[in-house]
Amino acid sequence: MTKRRGLLLILSSPSGAGKTTLTRRLMDWDPAIRFSISATTRHPRPGETDGREYYFRSRTDFEQMVATGEMLEHAEVFGNFYGSPKAPVQSAMDEGRDTVFDIDWQGGQQIRNSSLGRDVVSVFVLPPSIAELERRLRGRGQDSEAVIAGRMAKSRDEISHWAEYDYVIVNTDLDAAFNDLVTVLQAERIRRDRQPDLADFVRGLNKEFEAR
Ligand code: ADP
Ligand code: 5GP
């Protein structure tokens, strides 16, 4: 069997809606999935490790990566720069592994409009309500009041891009939302154009008919 090309699963949402939680679960569900580790100029939160959640880089190093064409996309979010390194994505695709991206709408748009656009499956995650979104941001206990207020202010803008995505999941119940995400991935993996050997396979079926 020829390997199918890995697909690029882009998850976006307002901060706090549950992207990170869903992404982690997805990678436990299928350890072959690669997480696109972004580079960022923001400082690590407690518990975050360089090279695991993000590559934490200085502004100068980040700009260098952009200038040398190492980024598939990059954007400014909440006053910091974020970007997805290109090389790991390309090698995952060649190995037939899917890559999951936790990136904002600007990054989603750039990858969708790039030469890899046909390999993109995009999912927007909505919170059940704005009150619940705020509760989740606070409950995470990782950000100061000022940072939470900034994220809430930005969430309206992020949500305004929901219609640019292939799928939309309202993350009310985590198990149900995760189930929807897995359903999307499983269906996208068996799209006709993602199964490179189908024409040969059907030729084989026809030969079998002829031999009867
Ligand atoms: P994001 O990555 O979109 O910023 P997180 O995955 O960090 O969001 O989720 C924010 C907080 O909300 C976390 O504390 C997470 O455990 C919690 N959370 C995520 N999904 C749900 C859900 N369906 N119900 C209740 N809490 C949730
Ligand atoms: P956080 O600082 O909470 O980890 O992420 C803030 C926002 O930046 C989230 O909406 C996240 O999806 C987005 N983000 C993270 N990495 C990237 C990236 O590489 N590119 C883009 N465009 N956005 C990113």
In a domain, 112, yes or no: yes
CA 61 to centroid of ligand 1, rounded, Å = 31
What does the chain come to in residues? 212
Counting ligands in written order, which one lies closest to the CA of residue 173?
1
In a domain, 15, yes or no: yes
Work out the pLDDT band at 147, boundaries 50, 70, 90.
confident
Work out the pLDDT band at 107, boundaries 50, 70, 90.
very high
The CB of 122 under 6 Å from ligand 1? The reply is: no
Whether 122 and 8 have beta carbons less than 8 Å apart is answered as: no
Spatial separation of the C-alpha atoms in residues 97 and 194, rounded to whole Å:
12
In a domain, 45, yes or no: yes
- Quick one: average pLDDT of 29-54? 96
Query: Given this model, what pLDDT does residue 78 score?
Result: 83
For a mutational test of ligand 2's pocket, the pick from 89, 104, 124, i.e. the residue with the most ligand atoms closer than 8 A to its C-beta, is 104
Domain that includes residue 160, residue range: 8-193
> Percentage of the chain surpassing pLDDT 90?
89
Q: How many domains does the chain have?
A: 1
Q: Which helix (H) or strand (E) holds 12?
A: strand 8-12
pLDDT at 13 over 90: yes
Query: Given this model, what pLDDT does residue 188 score?
Result: 97
